[in-house]
Amino acid sequence: MNIVLVYSPVPRQVREWHLTLPDGATVAEAIAASGIRLEFPALESVRLAAGVWGKKAGLTHKLQARDRVEIYRPLRVDPKVARRERFTRQGVKKSGLFANRRTGAKAGY
């Protein structure tokens, strides 16, 4: 079966491998067959997060023909921390659900 393995080492740069694997192959087998760890040695020490067509999948997930396996980069910043910092920078008046309130309107409307 033919599959595609995709990895983006940095934003706006994508590396693709077109692989032919036996039926019943797993995500881990696809990663091993691609040689991605040889090309990107930094991935050797990191536990890889992978998905199939944008949905998170474990390394034991069985692949089907024409699947697209995606290797995800680890987050550099925790999204909760980033949101909290953005909120403190912008202030209460410019953010939130009711930031664009009509003048004279009741709170929450």
Give the tens place of pLDDT for each residue, 1-19. Answer: 999 999 988 888 999 999 9
Distance from C-alpha of 42 to C-alpha of 35, rounded to nearest angstrom: 13
Give the tens place of pLDDT for each residue, 57-82. Answer: 988 999 999 999 999 987 788 889 88
pLDDT confidence of 26, banded at 50, 70, 90?
Answer: very high
**CB 23 within 8 Å of CB 48:** no
- In the chain the domains, ranked by start, together with CATH numbers, are 2-72 (3.10.20.30)
Which pair of tokens denotes residue 84?
Answer: 């909290």
pTM exceeds 0.85, yes or no: no
Handedness of CA 14, 17, 18, 20 (dihedral sign): negative
Average pLDDT score over residue span 34-53 = 84
**Spatial CA neighbour of 58 closest among 50, 67, 68:** 50
Angle at 70 between CA 64 and CA 72, to 5 degrees: 150
